[in-house]
């Protein structure tokens, strides 16, 4: 006669199976962490960072900035307008680059508007995080 508790009794798994499943889980976590890099984009610099001269950013284009530990994409969509965004793509955390009126993610080809940071093409579903920006004495200040 069958044991009535047999269906609820724990089943012993071979040690190799347990280690293989655990290793696969760790590998997936490492892969996800490599793509994301962080929980989300930062809100901007904690203190003002000089991102360069306004004249160094041609009207209608953008540049990538990496100064004092702060990374940003800065654009000048019009003569009297300067904007800045986190360069972290919200899709999987790759760094976007400025290209002809857009910021483009080199990893999965998401596209973002140069002036607004809004998504223009997926797979990203949300836009870039804006940074506070000011222009003083011809210098672009982030934060």
**SS3 per-residue string spanning 7-70:** CCCCCCCCHHHHHHHHHHHHHHHHHHHHHHCCCCCCCCCCCCEEEEEHHHCCCCEEEEEEECCE
Angle in degrees, CA 13, 24, 122, rounded to 5: 145
For residue 1, the model assigns a pLDDT of 52
Identify whether 137 is part of a domain. yes
Q: Which domain holds residue 119?
A: 49-142
Identify whether 54 is part of a domain. yes
For residue 44, the model assigns a pLDDT of 59
Domain count, the chain: 1
Closest CA to 54 of 73, 80, 85: 80
CATH number, domain with residue 75: 2.102.10.10
Return per-residue pLDDT of the chain as tens, 143 residues.
Answer: 555 454 444 444 444 433 343 333 333 333 333 333 333 345 556 778 999 999 999 999 999 999 988 999 999 999 999 999 999 999 999 999 999 889 999 999 999 999 999 999 989 999 999 999 999 999 999 98
Identify whether 79 is part of a domain. yes
Max distance between CA atoms of the chain, in angstroms, equals: 91
Closest CA to 125 of 108, 142, 102: 108
For residue 21, the model assigns a pLDDT of 37
């Amino acid at each position: 006669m069958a044991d009535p508790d047999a269906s609820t009794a724990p089943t012993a798994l071979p040690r190799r199976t347990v280690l293989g499943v655990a290793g696969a889980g760790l590998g997936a976590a490492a892969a996800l962490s490599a793509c994301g890099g962080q929980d989300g984009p930062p809100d901007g610099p904690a203190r003002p960072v000089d991102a360069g001269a306004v004249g160094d950013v041609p009207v209608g284009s953008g540049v990538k900035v990496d100064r004092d530990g702060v990374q940003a994409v800065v654009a000048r969509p019009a003569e009297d307008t300067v904007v800045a965004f986190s360069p972290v793509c919200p899709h999987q955390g790759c760094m976007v680059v400025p290209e002809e009126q857009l910021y483009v993610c080199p990893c999965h080809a998401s596209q973002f508007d140069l002036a607004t940071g809004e998504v223009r093409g997926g797979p990203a579903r949300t836009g870039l995080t804006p940074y506070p920006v000011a222009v003083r004495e011809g210098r672009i200040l982030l934060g």
